[in-house]
Amino acid sequence: MAGAHAAFQAQLLIPVIVGPTGIGKSELAFRLALELNAEIVVADSKQVYQRLDIATNKPSVEHRRAVRYHMVDFVDPAASFNAAHYVRGANDAIADIKMRGRVPVIEGGTMLYVDALCDGFSLTGVPPDPELRAELEALDLSTLRERLLALDSDPGVDLHNPVRMVRAIEVLEATGPPLQRLRTRTPPPWEALRIGLTAPLDVIDRRLEERSRRQVERGLIAETQSALDVGVPETAPVLTGIGYAEALAHIRGELTLEELPQTMARNNRRYARRQLRWWRRDARVTWFEIEPDPLPAILKHLGSKA
RNA sequence: GGCGCCGUAGCCAAGUGGCAAGGCAGAGGUCUGCAAAACCUCCAUCCCCAGUUCGAUUCUGGGCGGCGCCU
């Protein structure tokens, strides 16, 4: 695939691997990276946190020895991280990769992170205000709604969704109305070539069951406990993720050891469906079944675009 | 064999003589700084038969099934 390789060396196109959790995006991105002599920029809201490796599905040490990974394993698990931090870090990583004359491949699970990066979401530019959030979170829905509508009569957010309304108020108090003018996109100086990986739902479900079981066997509970032991609060974003949330429930005695992987698989199932729905509506995604090995077809597709 | 209780969606479960709450699971959807989050929508003629009644899931009788106790 010399053609594809050259085109990506020209640094105009960046392959972006998307799809539901558990479908093998990571493995495919790894193989693609070897093929293109590329480095991988992971777009995942949980893999950024240090030490929590098992349920975040971080790349293996073998993979990390063979390919350079970015945006993985660098944030204190007790800290919080968000989409804006991600976009900044990922853009820096991409610039760095390019400067070194190498090729980036983006691989992502977190839908907002991928879109915010590849479509250049402004995210309004207003950082979180923890005190204001704490105050607003204590309010009931209708009070929150009144407070929001008083600031902006047409904020364009779901008036049933407290999280969205709190954020909208936070932005409006910092900038003034109208909110909608702040949600802009400034596309990056490269084009994302979205590659979607998919499979029949029953196949995905089976893989998720298997993976959940394996994660428990690999020491998920001990990993969760050791995070608690070093002072990571139970409410830390990583620990609310699939796998850790259930492991915590088990540690608290709310889930048996047999229920643990089952519950993890169920929550993963729901997440996978949500990811599928998100990407399905994006016509820019070109889909590939995982069943016969999709790598040759993907390389061919990338070559044709380049 | 006798007595008592029960039988509502895949599961748990409330309820009423006037076309059946809620939760979980499931399906679909929304998404611009917590996104593995948050939110929205959809999803049952109430075990069967007969009777009472204008009308029964709700009342009566019988059947079937389950649970408990007793002999």
Write out pLDDT tens, residues A103-150.
999 998 899 999 999 999 999 999 999 999 999 999 988 999 999 999
Q: Please give the ipTM for the structure prediction.
A: 0.89
DSSP per-residue string spanning A11-69: TSEEEEEE--TTSSHHHHHHHHHHHHTEEEEEE-TTTTBSS--TTTTPPPHHHHHHS-E
The rounded percent of chain A whose pLDDT value lies above 70 is: 96
**pLDDT tens track for A11-52:** 589 999 999 999 999 999 999 999 999 999 999 999 999 999
Q: Examine the pLDDT at A3 and tell me if it is beyond 60.
A: no
Among A30-39, A135-144, A251-260, A269-278, the range scoring the smallest mean pLDDT is A251-260
Between CA A42 and CA A1 the distance in angstroms is 24
Q: Is the CB of A175 under 7 A from strand B?
A: no
Between CA A231 and CA A224 the distance in angstroms is 11
pLDDT at A6: 56
Q: Is the CB of A206 under 7 A from strand B?
A: no
A 129-148: CB within 7 Å of strand B: 133, 137
The rounded percent of chain A whose pLDDT value lies above 90 is: 87
Task: Read off the pLDDT band of A253 (50, 70, 90).
Answer: confident
A 97-126: CB within 7 Å of strand B: 109-113, 116, 121-126
* Mean pLDDT of the residues in chain A: 92
Q: Is the CB of A189 under 7 A from strand B?
A: no
pLDDT at A1: 44
**CA of A303, C1' of B49: distance in angstroms:** 71
